[in-house]
Amino acid sequence: MIQENLEKIRTTIETYAAKAGRRPEEITILGATKSVPPERIKKAARLGIRLFGENRVQEAQKKIPQVRIPGISWHMIGHLQRNKAKQAVQLFDMIESVDSIKLAQELQKRLPEGRQLEILVEVNTSGEPTKYGLPPDEDQILPFMEKILGCCPSLVPRGLMTLGPYPPEEKRSRRSFALLRALRDRLEEEFGLSLPVLSMGMSEDYPWAILEGATLVRIGRALFGPREE
């Protein structure tokens, strides 16, 4: 089942990359594994998925040690509370959900000497009040990035992350994703940084995210099947 799902996803990525004049290799699949048991994650890893994402530190602490496979990486994709920063730093290769300076400072503080940690800044491009992230406004995001660069020399910003609007709908979803890309472009220009990662698109909206420049699509149900919540 995972194999069939993955074949479909890869085909969709090829199709939409082609529509956008992009190469499919520019787009990485992240398996979103909340509530997915280790066996299914290992199956996906055997089929070539190299990157997985968890939403909660507690679940990740149990699961990640059960999926020790060389060459796979883990991203934190859910909201991260400051009091979990220490564990998060130990568990994850990237934090995609940095949305406050206090969190960034805590991550910086918890990093062992000499270690760097890649981060994405989460932006609430849909403006939905239930979602986390900075407002999608350059007057907020430019000063935010400036502060991160100042406070936290061990954090390495790699790009931006967003969740599309719910329910997904082509026009609104694409507007959200295009906004994330525009903000990324603005940051690169302002700070002379390279921010290649745009983490956007999930099971129901990733084709549109690819059209708007996604480099990382976070896929749960379309890969692993429905969640048992």
Ligand X SMILES: *Cc1c(COP(=O)(O)O)cnc(C)c1O
Q: Which of 32, 36, 117, 160 binds ligand X (CB under 6 A)?
A: 32
155 vs 20: CA distance, rounded Å: 32
Sequence-distant (≥ 6) Cβ neighbours of residue 149 within 8 angstroms: 157, 191
- Is 203 an interacting residue with respect to ligand X (CB under 6 A)? yes
| Nearest distance, CB of residue 144 and ligand X, angstroms | 19
Stretch that binds ligand X, among 63-71, 151-159, 169-177, 200-208 (CB under 6 A): 200-208
| Nearest distance, CB of residue 219 and ligand X, angstroms | 5
| Nearest distance, CB of residue 51 and ligand X, angstroms | 12
- Is 202 an interacting residue with respect to ligand X (CB under 6 A)? yes
Torsion, CA 154, CA 160, CA 166, CA 169, rounded to 10: -160
Q: Which of 55, 125, 126, 173 binds ligand X (CB under 6 A)?
A: 55
How far are the Cα atoms of 16, 89, 144, 171, 180 from residue 133, in angstroms, in the given order? 27, 20, 12, 21, 12
Query: C-alpha 186: how far from its chain's center?
Result: 19
- Nearer to ligand X by Cβ, of 87 and 203: the residue is 203
- Is 34 an interacting residue with respect to ligand X (CB under 6 A)? yes
Closest CB to ligand X: residue number: 220
For residues 130-169, which are near ligand X according to CB under 6 A?
163
- Nearer to ligand X by Cβ, of 32 and 44: the residue is 32
- Is 222 an interacting residue with respect to ligand X (CB under 6 A)? yes
Pair of tokens at residue 62? 């149990």
Cis peptide before 167 (omega within 30 of 0): yes
Query: C-alpha 214: how far from its chain's center?
Result: 10
- The torsion angles phi and psi of 76, rounded to 5 degrees, stand at -85, 120
For residues 78-97, which are near ligand X according to CB under 6 A?
78
Give me the residues that bind ligand X (CB under 6 A), please: 32, 34, 55, 77-78, 163, 202-204, 218-222
